[in-house]
Structure 1
Amino acid sequence: MPVANALVTGASGFIGVHLVERLLSGGTRVTVLVRSSSEIPKDWHDRVTVLACDDFSERGLRQLLRAPVETVFHLAAYGVRPNHRDVDEMLAINVGFSAALVRLCADWRARMIMAGTFSEYRSPSSRDLLTEASPLEQGKLYGSSKAAGGLMASAIANSSDTAFRLLRLFKVYGAGEASHRLLPALVSGLAKRERVAISAGTQVLDFVYIDDVIEAMLRADMHCREKSGIATWNVATGRARSVRDFAECVAVTMNAEPSLLGFGAVDMRKDDEPWLVGSPDLLRSELGWQPAVGLDEGIRAAVATLRTTQAR
């Protein structure tokens, strides 16, 4: 049974756009909460209710959000881009905004599905799969703020008997990513047979295709309907692949020369970690979810869509 009506924050982002489209296709009435400066797909204007918001305090949200909804999908975050490091903004969005939404859900008797991130985990000392019980990040701004926001939201939900699921998403990829990210940058450059400057590519990550992520979110919401309480789950494949592997797979898919991959031309970022791979066991046992799309298949699908989009 589809969600009757839902509120989606962060709806103008990569994952948010895919989620809204999936909800609409299932007949859900969707309200999106976005910044006034955000751009949303043109065809949404007569299909969704758009609420522009620049005051994410609880008071501001209560003034704006008058009509209760059945489920809140909370995807909004600050700090994904490396240059977004304003600490006040990070606290306001990643912690305060999340806490305020849970309190609203408690009033509405609504459910909340919150998108977390693999960046919440501390880099492991060995190449072990990260579980939901692994130590959380304490030394980096974005990861620490997301971890704090998830913990605070979980605690408020628990104390108010609000159904809440925190999904820590690993390295999500697919068509629709921001142009500065690895996949669209590779497709854009390789399509022109230009050399693409990237890092050494030694980071080993857990790449999860966007469609699998959306399926996990919808299953988490269904789980909330059947069982109250709170839960935290990794949305991961458990499969370790390096950034170099990922880039080379894109090049093979596009029949591009490997020499066009400029490994080492870009310095590693301070936030880059050598190994962040998640265990999907808990999500599999609780929801029966497992990734349906492998890396090669996901890259082929994403490249096909991106090439069509970039050609317009």
Structure 2
Amino acid sequence: MNFLVTGATGMIGRRVVRILVESGDKVIAPIRSVRKAQDCFNDLGDGILFVDWNTENISNLLKDVEDLHVIHLAAPGVIPGERNWDNLIEGAVSLSVQTVLALKNASTKCFIHTGSCLEYGPSATMTTIPETHCLDGLCDYGAAKAASYLCAKAAASKVGIRFICARLFGVYGEEEAPGRLIPYLVSKLRNGEEVDLTLGEQVRDFLYVDDAAKALIELARNAECLEHSVYNVCSGAGIQICDMALKISKAVGADNSLLKFGARPYREDEPMYIVGDNKRLQDSLVWSQSFSIDEGLRQTVTRLLQK
């Protein structure tokens, strides 16, 4: 199959591209940094074509590509420091719409849009969140991703492209940005440094990056047969942040006394419970979670310690 993968050098994008190329699929990856792309994929040979990120170039290039499957991962805001409104609107909303419109003359089979669990409103009853839950992003990132979903879906409808949104919950792996929870904790604990944390009562749904990447690919491969336009990509199980931190500490081999729970206040806009319902995904695809939280953490921490 032919795939266009945006955000190919990001944590999830790297896994998606590698799985596709190793499966014999052809990948086109719009990029902004040749150096970063070469560092990520220098061993993949001819299975991937890099093109400069320019929607006009992409539009012209894709005219002759048959049966194109698009996995759109490019978006700012995963790192909190990137979350200013101009950046979010330009990178999440405008870029998604521009990418859809660049495909209007291509033979596009589907557009897999990656959303976020933060698009949903809070779960007041502490139950898993289904795809039918209301959109009510309370933080800037969640609001921008919800707007991106609505606008890109409308654009796809206008140009006649099958549109599916995959809402991601807590995807983690060794290639996460340094400021994210797991690499941050590993970096501090391996050096014997104390870590200021909240009480850690927040409950989150974590999914290892390989499982998330495979879900996105399966959604793309089966898009024409899918009944729904939104799918939660998640484990369906919650874990408190304090328990996650203790698991990371154990994997690093650190002293748990370095974890200073309660030293930081909760953020004002921080929801206390975000766990997804993945029944729709499991009922629609031949997909299941391969990595338990312990297995995924062990893999992640081991690789982080090797860096």
Structure 1 residues 90 and 155: alpha-carbon distance in aligned structure 2, compared to 1, 3 A threshold: same
**Aligned-residue offset at 1:267:** 3.7
After TM superposition, the structure 1 = structure 2 runs for residues 171-182 of structure 1, keeping only pairs within 5 Å, are 171-182=170-181
Q: Which residue of structure 1 lines up, in the alignment, with residue 51 of structure 2?
A: 51
Paired with 2:188 and 2:81, the residues of 1 have a C-alpha distance of 23
Comparing 236-245 with 191-200, greater Cα deviation is found at 191-200
Q: CA RMSD in A?
A: 2.2
Of the three residues 55, 62, 80, the one matched with 2:56 is 62
Structure 1 residues 98 and 302: alpha-carbon distance in aligned structure 2, compared to 1, 3 A threshold: same
Paired with 2:227 and 2:285, the residues of 1 have a C-alpha distance of 15
Structure 1 residues 304 and 139: alpha-carbon distance in aligned structure 2, compared to 1, 3 A threshold: closer
Q: Which residue of structure 2 lines up, in the alignment, with residue 102 of structure 1?
A: 100
Alpha-carbon displacement from aligned partner over 1:219-239 (angstroms, at most 9, x marks no partner): 101112x43786110011221
Residues 79 and 180 in structure 2, CA contact (< 8 A), matched pair in contact too:
no
Paired with 1:89 and 1:193, the residues of 2 have a C-alpha distance of 36
Of the three residues 282, 287, 290, the one matched with 2:288 is 290
Alpha-carbon displacement from aligned partner over 1:76-106 (angstroms, at most 9, x marks no partner): 1122222323323322221222122223334
After TM superposition, the structure 1 = structure 2 runs for residues 1-312 of structure 1, keeping only pairs within 5 Å, are 3=1, 5-36=2-33, 39-42=36-39, 44=41, 47=46, 48-53=48-53, 60-68=54-62, 69=65, 70-110=68-108, 111-224=110-223, 226-227=224-225, 231-308=229-306, 310=307
Comparing 138-147 with 31-40, greater Cα deviation is found at 31-40
Unaligned runs of 5+ in 1: 54-59
TM-score by length of 2: 0.89
Identity of aligned residues (%): 32
The letter of the residue matching 2:165 is L
TM-score by length of 1: 0.87
Secondary structure of the structure 1 residue equivalent to 2:70: strand
Paired with 1:206 and 1:284, the residues of 2 have a C-alpha distance of 16
- Which segments of structure 1 move beyond 6 Å, counting only runs of 4 or more? none
Residues 168 and 233 in structure 2, CA contact (< 8 A), matched pair in contact too:
yes
Paired with 1:250 and 1:164, the residues of 2 have a C-alpha distance of 37
Structure 1 residues 43 and 284: alpha-carbon distance in aligned structure 2, compared to 1, 3 A threshold: closer
The letter of the residue matching 1:208 is L
Comparing 228-237 with 140-149, greater Cα deviation is found at 228-237
Alpha-carbon displacement from aligned partner over 1:160-197 (angstroms, at most 9, x marks no partner): 43222210000011111111111111222222232233
Paired with 1:254 and 1:24, the residues of 2 have a C-alpha distance of 33
Secondary structure of the structure 1 residue equivalent to 2:102: helix
Comparing 44-53 with 231-240, greater Cα deviation is found at 44-53
Alpha-carbon displacement from aligned partner over 1:266-306 (angstroms, at most 9, x marks no partner): 44334421011110011111113221211111111111111
Paired with 2:82 and 2:40, the residues of 1 have a C-alpha distance of 29
Structure 1 residues 297 and 229: alpha-carbon distance in aligned structure 2, compared to 1, 3 A threshold: closer
Paired with 2:30 and 2:19, the residues of 1 have a C-alpha distance of 17
Comparing 174-183 with 17-26, greater Cα deviation is found at 17-26
Residues 185 and 196 in structure 1, CA contact (< 8 A), matched pair in contact too:
no
Paired residue total: 299
**Aligned-residue offset at 1:139:** 3.9
